[in-house]
Amino acid sequence: MLVSVKEMMQKAREGKYAVPQININNLEWTKSVLATAQELQSPVILGVSEGAGKYMTGFKTVAAMVKAMIEEMNITVPVALHLDHGTYEGCKKCIEAGFSSIMFDGSKYPIEENVEKTRELVNICAEKGLSLEAEVGSIGGEEDGVVGMGEFADPEECKKIADLGVDILAAGIGNIHGKYPENWPGLNFDVLANVKAKVGDMPLVLHGGTGIPADMIQKAISLGVCKINVNTECQLSFAAATRKYIEEGKDLQGKGYDPRKLLAPGAEAIKETVKEKMELFGSVGKA
């Protein structure tokens, strides 16, 4: 059964750890993430971007696959299925498809319009038992065609959005999607502390979890971050393991071309990456 992130976030805030949101792209990804969460007894949030949803033929396919896998794999840890950086229309589709959580990325709208649309979604989610993540200050970098300039969130705007009754809030603090450039100045903890001071107990989300040094992750958690999103790092480890398999000519040995064999090293590599993140974020054994 899928759950919303509400209870996960409350426990994470009290226990001073963060629940990983691992973005999924296909069946192998989903299977690896669920198996690792179960093995490590960690709660997990499966993130699905609009692009990934489209790739998997639509949000209904994703929801059906994830629900069936939870059952067939006997997964007992809390799992949320969460729309990542949703448009207003995408949010509506995921609510209908049976997701347990959505993110409305209204950061591209003027704050008044972001507030108005978020308010409407707050009401729908409350009625249907889903959790809702909102974003203030766009996250830098590029993800599935969504390009953010990497702003710092305005604490006053964060408060305005938090007060609408969203469950979790993503605030830009210098984090960006994808690999961090050499000259990246790091997370801005002053902005994070100022946001936290305004929004109180609201669990905060750190996007762009790939490549953030361990000490910064820990500091962010100590300042109220309860959910950290990781996507690129799994893509990189999947690609590296697949490259190695092919470069070693293993696809040409026996039935090494069988996709179940060809994709196995990548799927194993994802498990390793997810494990590292769960250990770093402190979510192991918190299911």
Residues that bind ligand 13P (CB under 6 A): 23, 47, 84-85, 177-178, 207-210, 229-233
Q: Are 125 and 95 in contact (CB under 8 A)?
A: yes
Nearest approach in angstroms of CB 10 to ligand 13P is 21
Q: Which of 84, 105, 154, 167 is catalytic?
A: 84
| Residue closer to ligand 13P (CB basis): 63 or 234 | 234
Q: Contact, 104 vs 117, CB < 8 A?
A: yes
Residue 221 CB, shortest distance to ligand 13P, in Å, is 16
Q: Which is nearer to ligand 13P, 210 or 283 (CB)?
A: 210
200 contacts 221 by C-beta, under 8 angstroms: no
Taking every pair of Cα atoms in the chain, the longest distance, rounded to a whole number of angstroms, is 62
* Cα 89 from Cα 151, distance rounded (Å): 24
Angle of the 27-40 helix axis to the 59-72 helix axis, nearest 10: 40
| Residues 197, 200: Cα–Cα separation, whole Å | 6
Q: H/E/C letters for each residue in 206-230?
A: ECCCCCCCHHHHHHHHHCCEEEEEE
Residue 121 C-beta: closest distance to ligand 13P, Å: 18
Specify whether 84 is catalytic: yes
If the CB atoms of residues 31 and 177 are measured against ligand 13P, the closer one turns out to be 177
Nearer CB in complex with ligand 13P: 178/256: 178
**What is the C-alpha separation between 261 and 22, in angstroms, rounded?**
23
Closest approach, Cβ 49 to ligand 13P, in A, equals 7
The catalytic residue positions are 84
